[in-house]
Structure 1
């Protein structure tokens, strides 16, 4: 049986942990040459070992345009093209409206909006015919969440990017879709509850009580949806938002 990404060149930003790492592992298993990026070298090195021989780790802060240039120059010199771009780097933290600072706003929008925009823009000269761009959204953008307004707004911008960029790229045989996870058990999610393990489990249990499937998701469940969007199985899927949320945003 042929693998769905055999010989493809894929980039997964924010690929050293959580959803990004799970997706990079699955892409590699499906035959892709995978570049992963992140800001912490130790985590990147460990992730590359977990992915295997098809992985190349490049330390990149996606908010710094010169580092994005270095990434794409390396990909160009080694492979000459990009077939799959999973723009996953980002993050956020809880902050009540009365406590939002300019620094908090700038950091969140730099990571989730600026970084996404310029990662995609700088990839354009390398994108192959039939390339797939996948943007990581969030169910936070579809409803209200206490203390999460800045993050939610930044992810709403990501969803809007997908809708508009398919028009900018019309006729170029490049697809752009938004992959929207719900609560997924990742270091990023549990970290919102702080270092206390009991608090972390309490938060996961609370999310599980809200989700129609009665549990939080696993990173590989998101990775399998990313594989669908990356592969030719989704060849006529463009500008869409694919929810992997156990139904929480659908009720």
Structure 2
């Protein structure tokens, strides 16, 4: 049986890279999307086989259209889209620049919408769109208003898109993720003062970020594997996972 063709955004590092490695290791064909072609190409080259790297800035509708047109030249039909690309950068709304606001909205919400729109005509019946959300929408994180709002919007988008695509036999699932890390993980780039404010404000809300568990990226890929292996008569709308503090 031929493997699945899985498109992953934000695949140059972090969870996106771990997913690409996992699925390729399982015998699937992975298509890696990222803003930097050099970075996603390096990941694809390391994976080897039929891994395909495609340049794609999810904040640009034109870039997304071009990326999926390029994918279609090699893979006219795909089995899954994982909307993983996102920006996580704490800041206060009253202090936010136009670039920070637009960056969050375009990357975290409009980007998955652009990618889903382009992927839908290419998805086979039984195909799957998986959107990455965040535990932060239900937790008292500070200085993440735009991140939380865009992730909450993405969850709502997923619910109604699933209903819209019902007749096409395409499922849409939200994965509400806990804190993750892996090899080469770094904190979002921000000045030390902003970082300190973020931790202190979260602590005042009763959230000790230093005491929270952290899952490894490669551990969480099992969740996505399970979702893509669901039988056709089963749908999971939302998966929530949290990280554990290990003894």
Question: What's the secondary structure of 2:128's corresponding residue?
Answer: strand
| 2:107 is equivalent to residue 107 of structure 1 | no
Partners of 1:160 and 1:77 lie apart in 2 by: 32
Unaligned segments of structure 2, at least 5 residues: 200-207
| 2:89 is equivalent to residue 87 of structure 1 | no
Query: Aligned ranges for residues 85-234 of structure 1 at < 5 Å?
Result: 85-186=81-182, 190-192=186-188, 194=190, 207=209, 209-210=211-212, 215-232=213-230
Partners of 1:189 and 1:245 lie apart in 2 by: 18
The equivalent residue for 1:73 is 69
Question: What's the secondary structure of 1:191's corresponding residue?
Answer: coil
Alpha-carbon offset, residue 97 of structure 1: 3.5
Residue 243 of structure 1: which of 236, 240, 243 is its match? 240
Q: TM-score, normalised by structure 2?
A: 0.85
Partners of 2:228 and 2:165 lie apart in 1 by: 17
Question: What's the secondary structure of 1:15's corresponding residue?
Answer: coil
Show CA shifts across 1:218-249 (max 9, x none).
011221111111223585124x221222269x
Show CA shifts across 1:154-200 (max 9, x none).
1001111111111111222110001121111158973237588xx89
Alpha-carbon offset, residue 40 of structure 1: 1.6
Contact 1:183/1:189 (<8 A) preserved: no
Alpha-carbon offset, residue 141 of structure 1: 1.4
Q: Which shifted more, 146-155 or 183-192?
A: 183-192
Aligned residues: 233
Unaligned segments of structure 1, at least 5 residues: none
Q: Provide the aligned C-alpha RMSD in A.
A: 2.5
Q: TM-score, normalised by structure 1?
A: 0.84
Q: Give the direction of change, closer, same or farther, for the CA distance of 1:187–1:100 in structure 2 (3 Å limit).
A: farther
